[in-house]
Amino acid sequence: MTEPAGPGAPAGSGGVAMALVGLALRLVLGGIFAWAAYLKISDPQQFTHAIKAFDTDLPDRLIIWSTFAVPWTEMLCAAALIVGVWTRAAATTVALMLVLFTGLVISAILRHLNLEHCGCFGRQGLLCHGPPGWCHVGENGLMLAMALVIALTGRQVVAADCLLERRARGRA
């Protein structure tokens, strides 16, 4: 499963290096999202409080669904990135979620909301700690860049997508 897939398959050492960078990005981003999802799924009431704290005026039912739908979507995308199934779609979904999260953080900063933490990683933080701030925007920007590289390059190694593509080509 080390052969890259698709029309963007790497050629030569430069292509292989890019593919390896893609693999590293997938594992790092997938790991981060799996961790974030686990923290939210393991204590849903705390995540409900975190969503409420952003003062979005969402109906209660939508807050409850978001409490569970967001981390499960994160977990699903994390698994897809790590295993390498539907890699580009998973990276795109992660990018969309990051845009949404960043919008919420910026909105909290601009409205001077008195929040203890952003709830992104439960009570913990990745690179940034404390109340939502521009550090969190930068952190999300970094992850967004990683997701976009994976989504746009389409070069994967050690991915289930490679097997699936090879099988599809064999049938053709």
Partner 1 sequence: MPPSNAGKQALRVVVLIALGTGAGIADSAMRPVKVTPDAPPPIEEVIAGHGAGQPLPTGANPVPARPPQGAPQAKPAETAKPYMITVEQARKLFETDQADFIDARPETEYAEGHIRGALSIPIEAFAGQIPERLKLIPDRARVIIVYCSGGNDCKAAEDVMIELQALKYSKIYVIQAGFPGWKEAGLPVDQGSPP
Residues in touch with partner 1 (CB under 8 A): 41-46, 48-49, 52-53, 55, 60, 63-65, 67-77, 80, 86, 88-90, 92-93, 96, 111-112, 114, 116-117, 122-123, 152, 154
* Residues 170/7, Cβ–Cβ less than 8 Å: no
Of 12 and 59, nearer to partner 1 (C-beta) is 59
Cα–Cα distance, 58 to 42 (Å, whole number): 23
H-state helical runs in the chain: 12-42, 44-53, 60-83, 87-110, 134-153, 160-171
Cβ 134 to partner 1 shortest distance, Å:
20
Q: In angstroms, what is the minimal distance from the CB of 145 to partner 1?
A: 18
Residue type, 141: G
CB of 112 or CB of 169, closer to partner 1? 112
| Rounded least distance, CB 119 to partner 1, Å | 11
User: Which residue is listed with tokens 């049938």?
Assistant: 171
Q: Which residue number, 20 or 75, has a Cβ lying nearer to partner 1?
A: 75
Distance from chain centroid for Cα 128: 17
The minimum distance between CB 46 and partner 1, in angstroms, equals 5
CA distance 67 to 59: 12
165 vs 5: CA distance, rounded Å: 7
Give the shortest CB-11-to-partner 1 separation in angstroms.
19
Cβ closest to partner 1, residue 13 vs residue 45: 45
Give whichever of 3 and 43 is closer to partner 1, judged by the CB atom: 43
Nearest to 2 by CA among 27, 18, 19, 14: 19
